[in-house]
């Protein structure tokens, strides 16, 4: 029994030795360790600074957007005027269209306005224009060159048209008496007394006259009912102006119709 166990043990050893020499698989090498790449956290990724980004970004000059003019919704293609300009144009139009007034323009004078066909039609009628506007031109109205001196631009003057004057005058009433204050060939001589009398409220006018082929300007104050009334007014004027050559006379109907209507219109203002 003991011998059998020994034989079995020996056989097993022999079998194990044979297997270890031929059938034993070669020793396996340790496989290389695979290292998995670690993905960085999005929190750990450093974002480029603004300055760096701007350096990398090509610089492009920005063009200012072109402003397109506003288009009127009522009339396409028409650019509306600024509000201030609209008001100015409306104001000028109102002054221009307003009856009974004239807005002084550059270069205008009393005589040039009086000569206009839509005003008095005669440059010698400037005293009538001055009398209408003595509240505005009273202090300014001085000097021998007054009729032709340039008026302050933009001044709004009252005016009377020839049509208005004729409407105020129905026909000659017989009040043809006037004071002939002065007769002269010189405008410089006749202007100062005319201005003085206008400022004192007298109905002053200037007419032309031709005596023996010589042209004169006659400074007159009218019109009065009779000789005695005229003499009384003439006496006051002589004292105020220190004139001795003034006299009372009767104007013809043509002169009366030419001038009297303006004075009647002035009385209405």
Q: Is residue 12 part of a domain?
A: no
Q: Is residue 10 part of a domain?
A: no
- pLDDT for residue 24: 47
- pLDDT for residue 4: 62
pTM: 0.63
- pLDDT for residue 226: 95
Q: Exposed, middle or buried, 176 (CB in 10 Å: 0-12/13-18/19+)? A: buried
Q: Is residue 39 part of a domain?
A: no
Q: Is residue 146 part of a domain?
A: yes
Per-residue pLDDT of the chain (269 residues; tens, 9 = 90+): 555 665 666 656 655 554 444 444 444 555 555 445 545 444 444 444 444 344 444 454 555 555 555 544 444 555 555 565 655 555 555 545 478 899 999 999 999 999 999 899 999 999 999 999 998 898 888 889 999 999 999 999 999 887 788 788 775 567 899 999 999 999 999 999 999 999 999 999 999 999 999 999 999 999 999 999 999 999 999 999 988 889 999 999 889 988 988 888 887 66
Spatial separation of the C-alpha atoms in residues 222 and 204, rounded to whole Å: 7
Spatial CB neighbours of 90, under 8 Å, sequence gap ≥ 6: none
**HEC string for the chain:** CHHHHHHHHHHHHHHHHHHHHHHCCCCCCCCCCCCCCCCCCCCCCCCCCHHHHHHHCCCCCCCCCCCCCCCCCCCCCCCCCCHHHHHHHHHHHHHHHCCCEEECCCCCCHHHHHCCCCCCCCHHHHHHHHHHCHHHHCCCCCCCCHHHCCCCCCCEEECCCHHHHHHHCCCCCCCCEEEEEEEECCHHHHHHHHHHHHHCCCCEEEEEEEECCEEEEEEEEEEECCHHHHHHHHHHHHHHHCCCCCEEEECCHHHHHHHHHHHHHHHHC
Q: Is residue 117 part of a domain?
A: yes
User: What are the structure tokens assigned to 251, written together?
Assistant: 């104007």
- Find the domain containing 245 and state its range: 101-268
- pLDDT for residue 184: 95
Number of domains in the chain: 1
- pLDDT for residue 140: 84
Q: Is residue 235 part of a domain?
A: yes
- pLDDT for residue 21: 47
Q: Is residue 112 part of a domain?
A: yes
Q: Is residue 173 part of a domain?
A: yes
């Amino acid at each position: 029994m003991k011998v059998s166990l020994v034989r079995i043990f020996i056989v097993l050893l022999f079998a194990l030795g044979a297997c270890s020499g031929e059938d034993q698989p070669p020793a396996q090498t340790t496989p290389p360790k695979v290292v998995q790449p670690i993905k960085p956290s999005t929190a750990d990724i450093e974002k480029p600074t603004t300055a760096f980004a701007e350096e990398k970004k090509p610089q492009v000059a920005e063009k200012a957007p072109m402003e397109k003019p506003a288009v009127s919704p009522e009339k396409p293609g028409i650019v509306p005027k600024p509000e201030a300009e609209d008001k100015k144009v409306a104001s000028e139009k109102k002054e221009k269209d307003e009856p009974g007034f004239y807005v002084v323009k550059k270069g205008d004078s009393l005589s040039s306005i009086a000569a206009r066909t839509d005003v008095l039609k005669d440059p010698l009628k400037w005293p009538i224009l001055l009398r209408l506007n003595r509240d505005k031109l009273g202090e300014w109205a001085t000097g021998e060159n007054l009729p032709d001196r340039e008026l302050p631009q933009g001044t709004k003057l009252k005016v009377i048209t020839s049509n208005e004057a004729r409407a105020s005058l129905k026909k000659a009433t017989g009040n043809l008496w006037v004071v002939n204050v002065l007769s002269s060939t010189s405008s410089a001589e006749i202007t100062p007394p005319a201005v003085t009398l206008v400022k004192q409220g007298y109905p002053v006018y200037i007419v032309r006259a031709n005596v023996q082929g010589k042209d004169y300007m006659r400074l007159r104050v009218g019109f009065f009912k009779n000789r005695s009334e005229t003499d009384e007014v003439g006496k006051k004027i002589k004292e105020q102006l220190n004139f001795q050559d003034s006299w009372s006379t009767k104007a013809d109907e043509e002169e009366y119709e030419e001038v009297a209507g303006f004075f009647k219109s002035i009385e209405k203002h």
